[in-house]
């Protein structure tokens, strides 16, 4: 099992949002989480990566069998957890290339590997940027500063490819993307798919799931997983909405 | 050397230090209207000028010495120590000065400075100026004047060195006259790490028709240093002002800047960044004034500050004073901690918290450093900020 979430409870401020959530993410599988607004989808992803606003009040999260709830965010990242942000922040004055190289070499150091030199890094970064339809000069721009919504999402996927994580959480990666950007992002995701990787795709829409086929669909409501099924659940949701799922409960 | 305690002197006794020449007489008249600086003087409200002026210090008057020829202009304790052979440099008793400067020290400095080092430039050049200080326990007054002739383009790199002097107070400043269509860029780096001297520097720039004045100032480290700058923009003149300040320990660093749009279609673009550590204090008091005659003005100013400690203190006063109805103008100021969301983002990519914060702060500073066109100078300035920030961020 890549990730086991056991009876997880978490709050932001005084508000409990995750209320006894159980979820297992299998190695090599693509899991999608869907749910109405306010169900706790984004809080769940923030909890897994260790956001400073989230306080875990109960339960546990095991990554490859090891509890991560007390780990710093960077430790979780170095162990192989990656989340693409719904709204990636802008960091003025820090070039995309410098940031990426620092991140890649931090991971390589953690894994006991030699750091990438500038030439090796650039060759790799340019190759992935091309795959994603990104102009090479975007590597020299300040991190996410002045990027369009689509460029920011492509840049998230570029980071994912460069860091080669094991658990990949994509938080609304498809929101605000036009069809070309969606295809490019999906291509990036499919490039890294392997029996060693696990995906957790958080989305409101079925669009991305047509390009990255999920093995499991989990419906989240009021801080809990209320239904798990296959791709057919997406079709049911599209036809009948969340109300139909609620009525089945 | 005679002992001089400025705080114990009244206006008349300071005026009596003045000789009869035109510059000092003009300064004396203006100072008599302004009065002496005090705790109530608006632009010194947070700088405590009275504490500086109350020190028992000896008045050191720069002594002309035999100057060497060198690729740099070196001013040692207020006198020319070396200069480039092709530089038109002189020492004069009289120069034209501003009659409406807001700063009293501008006039006091002119009154107690024996003469002014003047430079005349009529061609495109780059010039490096180094100020060296070696005297303990003195008030050292000196001034420089520069006249940039029609159409000339000048970049001046200004730097400061000291021999770990103690308790000296330095008054210096530039009177800069830009003729029509000229361009003058001043890149000033003041890297004071030992708190060995205090300084009040008062400058005046007159930018004539279609000329451009550009200042990029980099204040680093400790010390009690105030730069008072007044710029008059005539028709179609431009001012591009960028300021980066990094203070630590018990530093007090002030930039007081007043830019007057006197002619039509003048433009000002002013951006400042401050990073404050420990118990340091920084003052950014910037006014752009658009006078009745300044129609068609474009005036933008902005300051962003990061406080690295609870005890660091930022005084940010961006101001617009506008006397016309139609213009393009904006101003803004933000002061806060490092954005935790930025730190978190970098940490989720495996970068530890300390490194993430350093990266963000240096990136914040880099935005201003990138404005320096010369790559070597840019790298040198970046290195100085990195040194004090104790991180190697060379790509």
pLDDT in tens, A168-205: 999 998 888 888 888 888 888 898 999 999 999 999 88
Instruction: Assess B344–A contact: CB distance below 8 Å, yes or no.
Output: yes
B-chain CB neighbours of A83 within 8 Å are 348
Q: Would you call B341 and A89 a contact, using CB atoms and an 8 Å cutoff? A: yes
Q: Which residue in A51, A103, A106 is closest to B344 by CB distance?
A: A51
Residues B300 and B365 in one domain: no
Chains A and B form CB pairs within 8 A to the count of: 81
User: In this structure, what token pair is assigned to residue B157?
Assistant: 């790199």
Residues of A in contact with B355 (CB under 8 A): 102, 106
Confidence check: pLDDT of A237 > 90 = no
CA distance A98 to A183: 27
Split into its structural domains, chain B has a count of: 2
Q: Which of A77, A91, A97 sits opposite B350 (nearest CB)?
A: A77
Backbone CA torsion sign across A85, A87, A93, A97: positive
**What are the pLDDT digits (tens) for B112-127?**
998 899 999 999 999 9
Assess contact for B223 and B191: CB atoms under 8 A. no
Same domain, B273 and B144: yes
- A170 interfacial to chain B (CB closer than 8 Å): no
Reduced to 3 states, what is the DSSP secondary structure of residue B56?
coil
8 Å CB contact of A159 and B349: yes
Cβ atoms of residues B371 and B241 within 8 Å: no
In a shared domain, residues B170 and B204: yes
Of A50, A77, A98, the CB nearest to B349: A77
The rounded distance, in Å, linking the Cα atoms of B384 and B77 is: 24
Structure confidence at residue B393 as a pLDDT band (50, 70, 90): very low
Torsion of CA B38, B58, B143, B245, to 10 degrees: -60
CB B216 within 8 A of CB B368: yes
Q: How far is B339 from chain A, CA to nearest CA, in Å?
A: 10
Do B280 and B395 fall within a single domain?
no
Tell whether B248 and B296 lie within a shared domain.
yes
Is the per-residue pLDDT at B139 higher than 60?
A: yes
Spatial separation of the C-alpha atoms in residues A84 and A152, rounded to whole Å: 10
Q: Which residues are within 8 A (CB) of B123 and not within 5 positions of it... i.e. 6 or more apart?
A: B152
Angstrom distances, CA of residue B333 to CA of A90, A94, B385: 18, 21, 23
Quote the pLDDT of residue B196.
79
Closest CA to B167 of B313, B51, B256: B51
pLDDT, tens digit, 9 for 90 and up, residues B41-81? 999 999 989 989 888 888 898 888 888 888 999 999 999 99
- B313, B383: one domain: no
Of residues B157, B174, B271, B169, the one with CA closest to residue B223 = B169
Is the minimum CB–CB distance between A91 and chain B shorter than 8 Å? Answer: yes
**Least Cα separation, residue A241 to chain B (angstroms):** 34
What does the pLDDT read at residue B268?
A: 98
* Sign of the alpha-carbon torsion through B100, B231, B171, B276: positive
Size (chain B), residues:
395
Out of B337, B355, B376, a domain closes at B337
Same domain, B94 and B146: yes
Q: Check CB contact under 8 Å for A95 and B353.
A: no
DSSP label at residue A139: G
Measure CB to CB from residue B360 to each of A91, A97, A118 and give the nearest one.
A91
Q: Do B248 and B372 belong together in one domain?
A: no
CB contact, 8 Å: B341 with chain A?
yes
B226 and B254 Cβ atoms separated by less than 8 Å: yes
- Could you tell me what percentage of chain B is helix, strand and coil, using 3-state DSSP and rounding each to the nearest 5? 20, 45, 35
Q: Does A65 touch chain B (CB under 8 A)?
A: no
| pLDDT tens track for B155-208 | 999 999 988 888 899 999 999 999 999 999 999 999 887 777 899 999 999 999
How much is the pLDDT for B61? Answer: 86
Alpha-carbon span A81 to A69, nearest angstrom: 13
Q: Which of B47, B8, B24, B40 is nearest to B201 (CA)?
A: B47
Reported ipTM: the value is 0.96
Residues A183/A150, Cβ–Cβ less than 8 Å:
no
Q: What is the DSSP string of A90-133?
A: PEEEEEHHHHHHHHHHHHHHHTTPPPPPHHHHHHHHHHHHHHTT
**Same structural domain, B297 and B361:** no
Partner residue opposite A103 with nearest CB, options B339, B351, B393: B351
**What domains sit in chain A, N to C, each tagged with a CATH number?**
3-248 (3.40.50.300)
**Secondary structure of B167-180 in HEC code, one letter for each residue:** CEEEEECEEEEECC
Q: Does B342 touch chain A (CB under 8 A)?
A: yes
Instruction: Please check whether residues B310 and B376 belong to one and the same domain.
Output: no
Residue in this structure with the two tokens 């060759």, named with its chain if needed: A123
Cα atoms in the Cβ-side hemisphere of radius 13 Å centred on B236: 8
Interface of A with B in 66-85 (CB under 8 A): 72-74, 76-78, 82-83, 85
> Given a cut of 90, is residue B15 above it in pLDDT?
no
Write out the H or E segment, with its range, that includes residue B82: strand B79-83
Chain B residue with CA closest to A102: the answer is: B351
Render pLDDT for B314-365 as a digit per residue (tens, 0 to 9).
999 999 999 999 899 999 999 999 999 999 999 999 999 999 999 999 999 9
Chain B residues close to A117, C-beta within 8 Å: none
Are residues A18 and A44 in contact, defined by beta-carbon separation less than 8 angstroms?
yes
Distance from CA of A221 to the nearest CA of B (A): 26
- Structural domain ending residue among the three candidates B337, B355, B374: B337
Q: Which residues on chain A are in Cβ contact (under 8 Å) with B304?
A: none
Residues B327 and B361 in one domain: no
The reply to whether residue B359 touches residue A91, judged by beta carbons under 8 angstroms, is: yes
As a whole-number percent, the residues of chain B with pLDDT over 90 amount to 77
CA distance A163 to chain B (A): 8
Domain match, B236 and B132 both:
yes
Q: How would DSSP label each residue in B169-210?
A: EEEE-EEEEE-TT-EEEEEEEEEE-S--EEEEEEEEEEE-TT
* Nearest CA distance, A123 vs chain B (angstrom): 16
Residue B94 domain boundaries: 2-337
Tell me whether residues B364 and A93 touch, CB distance under 8 A.
yes
Which residue, chain included where needed, has tokens 């410098």?
A98
């Amino acid at each position: 099992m890549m990730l086991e979430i056991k009876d997880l409870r978490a709050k932001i401020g005084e508000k409990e949002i995750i209320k006894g959530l159980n979820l297992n993410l299998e190695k090599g599988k693509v899991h999608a989480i869907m749910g109405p607004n306010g169900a706790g989808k984004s809080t769940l992803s923030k909890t897994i990566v260790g956001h400073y606003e989230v306080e875990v009040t109960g339960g546990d999260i095991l990554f490859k069998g090891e509890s991560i709830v007390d780990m710093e965010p960077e430790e979780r990242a170095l162990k192989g957890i990656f989340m693409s942000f719904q709204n990636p922040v802008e960091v003025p004055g820090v070039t995309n290339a410098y940031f990426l190289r620092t991140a890649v070499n931090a991971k390589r150091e953690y894994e006991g590997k030699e750091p990438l030199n500038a030439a090796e890094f650039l060759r790799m970064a340019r190759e992935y940027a091309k795959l994603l339809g990104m102009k090479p000069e975007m590597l020299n721009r300040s991190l996410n500063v002045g990027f369009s919504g689509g460029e920011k999402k492509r840049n998230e996927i570029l980071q994912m490819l460069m860091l080669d994580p094991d658990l990949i959480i994509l938080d609304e990666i498809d929101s605000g993307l036009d069809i070309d950007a969606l295809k490019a992002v999906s291509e990036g995701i499919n490039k890294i798919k392997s029996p060693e990787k696990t995906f957790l795709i958080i989305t409101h829409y079925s669009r991305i799931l047509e390009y990255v086929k999920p093995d499991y669909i989990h419906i989240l409501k009021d801080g809990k997983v209320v239904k798990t099924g296959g791709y057919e659940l997406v079709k049911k949701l599209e036809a009948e909405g969340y109300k139909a799922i609620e009525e089945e409960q | 050397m005679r002992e001089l305690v400025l705080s114990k002197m009244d206006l008349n006794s300071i005026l009596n230090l003045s000789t009869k020449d035109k510059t000092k007489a003009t300064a004396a008249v203006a100072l008599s209207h302004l009065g002496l600086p005090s705790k109530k003087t608006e632009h010194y409200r947070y700088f405590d000028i009275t504490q500086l002026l109350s020190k028992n210090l000896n008045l050191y008057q720069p002594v002309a010495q035999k100057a060497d020829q060198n690729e740099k202009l070196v001013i040692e304790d207020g006198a020319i120590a070396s200069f480039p052979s092709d530089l038109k440099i002189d020492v004069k008793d009289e120069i034209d000065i501003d009659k409406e400067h807001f700063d009293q020290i501008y006039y006091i400095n002119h009154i107690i400075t024996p003469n002014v080092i003047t430079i005349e430039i009529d061609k495109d050049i780059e010039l490096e100026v180094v100020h060296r200080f070696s005297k303990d326990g003195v008030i050292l007054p000196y001034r420089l004047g520069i006249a940039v002739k029609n159409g000339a383009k000048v970049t001046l790199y200004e730097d400061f060195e000291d021999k770990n002097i103690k308790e000296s107070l330095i008054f210096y400043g530039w009177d800069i006259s830009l003729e029509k269509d000229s361009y003058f860029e001043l890149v000033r780096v003041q890297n004071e790490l030992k708190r060995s001297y205090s300084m009040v520097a008062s400058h005046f720039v007159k930018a004539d028709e279609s000329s451009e004045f550009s200042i990029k100032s980099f204040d680093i480290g400790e010390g009690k240093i105030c730069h008072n700058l007044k710029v008059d923009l005539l028709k179609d003149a431009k001012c591009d002002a960028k300021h980066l300040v990094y203070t630590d320990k018990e530093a007090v660093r002030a930039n007081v800047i007043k830019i007057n749009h006197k002619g039509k279609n003048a433009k000002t673009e002013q951006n400042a960044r401050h990073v404050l550590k420990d118990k340091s204090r920084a003052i950014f008091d910037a006014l752009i004034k658009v006078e009745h005659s300044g129609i068609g003005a474009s005036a933008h100013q902005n300051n962003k500050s990061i406080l690295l400690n609870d005890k660091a203190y930022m005084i940010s006063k961006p101001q617009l004073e506008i006397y016309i109805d139609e213009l393009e103008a904006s101003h803004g100021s933000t002061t806060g901690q490092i954005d935790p969301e930025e730190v978190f983002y970098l940490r989720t990519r495996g970068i530890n918290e300390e490194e993430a914060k350093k990266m963000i702060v240096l990136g914040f500073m880099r935005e201003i450093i990138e404005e320096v066109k010369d790559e070597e100078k840019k790298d040198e300035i970046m290195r100085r900020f990195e040194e004090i920030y104790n991180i190697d961020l060379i790509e």
